[in-house]
Structure 1
């Protein structure tokens, strides 16, 4: 069973348009649960509107499942998977909508769930990848398939035994899944999306960074070698970052480390990359061609006042608080549950240190966010009418 999931804000109609893609041979709409809108775009907008009283800014959970071709009862396998999935994440009472895609004679199913509960709490998605893998292993076992290798195999087997499914755990152990080398995906879901958006393969950026590393002997040489390969070197929050031709920020230490590991099995340590650039004065993104820098020059590896990875790349390739590929850091205001509750000066200094390009991009995003939020609030007010005082956040009448 192949599954995937992504959590998001749900603002805009991009997700609905993705589910309606004409590239599929057929799109079959699912009967929604807990929603009244007649079409998929309206249903997702309704899910977002219903979440406005919740304690999260990512209330939408998009999941999909694709049964193996060896399973003849595709629809039955999907029903079983979703039943186990909803039980695992306690989603059985949550509203959802979705569609079944038919492509090349095979069917796979997408569902979009609202994560905010009636009381304003949020569905717990901790360790969602491993938990979805557990659900898939159960279905594979029940349909007589061989188990799929997973890096979470030991944790899955332990959880299965605790939940009384020793039969599935024994099946995994007998197949040797607990002892095989843990597989590593070549790209994360975020990296795949970035590749689709920019048209630039991450592997090619990694190869260019490693080539520049081998072609240089010092920091200035590395910067020049990167520039020759279309990569601009700047300061980042947790080390030097490079911008590719599409303006996507990537952490240099991760690029070189991953490329060297794939090339000869020996990873170039991040410390070695930072050491080579130790005496190089790096600037933040936003320096103009005349040499005037809109940010502060810092040493490589030092904390930058305005991090292009954290605030989105030049030209708006990323969003406020969104990380770049290669899992670059994206934790605003020092992150954690207490973010924003302590000293505001670090955040203020980062904002003050942003270059002109990043400031304009951030301002555009904030203005768009305000308009979308006001539109959703207005839609919710119209839907509830004068019943705000007698209904809960879902529009259901109180006793």
Structure 2
């Protein structure tokens, strides 16, 4: 329902009694509570080619084939038709839980939806859209009694074409929109640094000379751009070489060059090679972590990273985790054995009852460990959901 759309038409829902799109989606979720799934609804986006002669009929045919493919006939759904930049397309949200509690199987949903699209393109006289699943689609079409579509796909040359590769993944596209840093610019700079270096130290120096940095991430070394965005180094270098030079640099070659480097983890300080921290706005609706924190807390917020807290860009400031107890316990755990024994004796000598509280202290320490584990999960979840919104436009973090 965003205003960026030139026209929005809410289509008639099926199997729902609520009025209004938001209420209909909520009803879909409520109807799915009996199923054992954490993904009760399924969003599908249908974007017909502008060259189709009868777009309405093509869309109707696609939806009929889609529902038959996934066994969604009769499943409740709601949706909208959009006109954006002169392009007509449709969104639907289906409930995935059947009345008996079983959940619709979405295995291999991408190629299955592409198969439906190839059938519609064939029926309406269109050229097949390039697909990396072309060979498997042709085999499946023959197995399902559609050799006419498989032959048409073969004659088009789709089976011999190089597999198309999207310039950006959905996650990369969201990151690019969030940070205003074009990924291609990062790729070009990283590839230039690669060619201007011969080993790990010179590669790191070449990156820093171009306003980038190299850190240790969860899945390997990551390249940090000027906005603080992290990009897996093997993926950036490999994709840059493939995109700009036509031949991919293997991940093994990247790992071999930087394997000798000792890198700081993401979020452990900066060395002045990036732009000033961008300040976040007010707390999002539904964000309990920052609710009611006010302007004083907002001024401490910066760009988040995988290992960063909510107090500032370096992860410090504030008592957003366990009230500081975790930090104190970590300091106690790192005490040398001798000092720890002296401290224990001194505390025990203060009051005879202290000794009886040691077991309670151990239980408290275990509770803090559980809190820290939970906070680590929440930070990881917040990082993965950063910048994403649900269908109502509410941030997911």
What is the Cα deviation at residue 45 of structure 1?
A: 2.5
CA contact (8 A) 1:61 1:112 kept: yes
What is the Cα deviation at residue 63 of structure 1?
A: 1.1
Match for residue 154 of structure 1?
A: 135
What is the Cα deviation at residue 359 of structure 1?
A: 7.7
Match for residue 91 of structure 1?
A: 72
CA contact (8 A) 2:212 2:223 kept: yes
2:89 alignment partner, one of 89, 108, 111: 108
The answer to whether structure 1 residue 257 and structure 2 residue 257 are counterparts is no
What is the Cα deviation at residue 56 of structure 1?
A: 2.8
2:110 alignment partner, one of 129, 134, 143: 129
Where structure 1 has 5 or more consecutive residues not aligned to the other structure, the ranges are: 1-19, 292-310, 317-347, 373-399
1:314–1:256 distance in 2 versus 1, CA, 3 Å:
farther
CA contact (8 A) 1:96 1:111 kept: yes
Match for residue 190 of structure 1?
A: 171
The answer to whether structure 1 residue 21 and structure 2 residue 2 are counterparts is yes
> Partners in 1 of 2:381 and 2:132 — Cα distance?
41
After the TM superposition, which residues 47-58 of structure 1 pair with which residues of structure 2 at under 5 Å, given as runs? 47-58=28-39
Structure 1 stretches of 4+ with a deviation exceeding 6 A read: 351-354, 363-366
> Partners in 2 of 1:114 and 1:103 — Cα distance?
26
1:365–1:211 distance in 2 versus 1, CA, 3 Å:
closer
What is the Cα deviation at residue 128 of structure 1?
A: 1.4
After the TM superposition, which residues 234-245 of structure 1 pair with which residues of structure 2 at under 5 Å, given as runs? 234-245=215-226
1:129–1:32 distance in 2 versus 1, CA, 3 Å:
same
Q: Which structure has the larger Rg? A: 2
After the TM superposition, which residues 22-41 of structure 1 pair with which residues of structure 2 at under 5 Å, given as runs? 22-41=3-22
Deviates more, 1:88-97 or 1:174-183: 174-183
Match for residue 203 of structure 2?
A: 222
The answer to whether structure 1 residue 174 and structure 2 residue 155 are counterparts is yes
The answer to whether structure 1 residue 204 and structure 2 residue 188 are counterparts is no
Match for residue 61 of structure 1?
A: 42
After the TM superposition, which residues 243-282 of structure 1 pair with which residues of structure 2 at under 5 Å, given as runs? 243-282=224-263
> Partners in 2 of 1:80 and 1:142 — Cα distance?
9
Task: Determine helix, strand or coil for the equivalent of 2:81.
Answer: strand
CA contact (8 A) 1:248 1:313 kept: no
Task: Determine helix, strand or coil for the equivalent of 1:31.
Answer: strand
After the TM superposition, which residues 304-323 of structure 1 pair with which residues of structure 2 at under 5 Å, given as runs? 312=306, 314=308
CA contact (8 A) 2:97 2:104 kept: yes
> Partners in 1 of 2:36 and 2:56 — Cα distance?
35
> Partners in 2 of 1:131 and 1:95 — Cα distance?
20
What is the Cα deviation at residue 159 of structure 1?
A: 1.0
Question: TM-score, structure 2 length as denominator?
Answer: 0.66
1:115–1:133 distance in 2 versus 1, CA, 3 Å:
same
Where structure 2 has 5 or more consecutive residues not aligned to the other structure, the ranges are: 273-304, 311-367, 391-397
CA contact (8 A) 1:249 1:313 kept: no
CA contact (8 A) 1:247 1:315 kept: no
2:63 alignment partner, one of 56, 72, 82: 82
Encode CA deviations 1:107-153: one digit per residue, 9 max, x unaligned: 21111122233344332222211111111111111112222222211
Aligned length: 297
Q: Which has the higher contact order (CA 8 A, sep 6+)?
A: 1
Question: TM-score, structure 1 length as denominator?
Answer: 0.66
Encode CA deviations 1:212-268: one digit per residue, 9 max, x unaligned: 222333323322332333333222233211233343322101111111122323322
> Partners in 1 of 2:309 and 2:210 — Cα distance?
20
What is the Cα deviation at residue 86 of structure 1?
A: 0.9
What is the Cα deviation at residue 271 of structure 1?
A: 1.8
What is the Cα deviation at residue 362 of structure 1?
A: 4.9
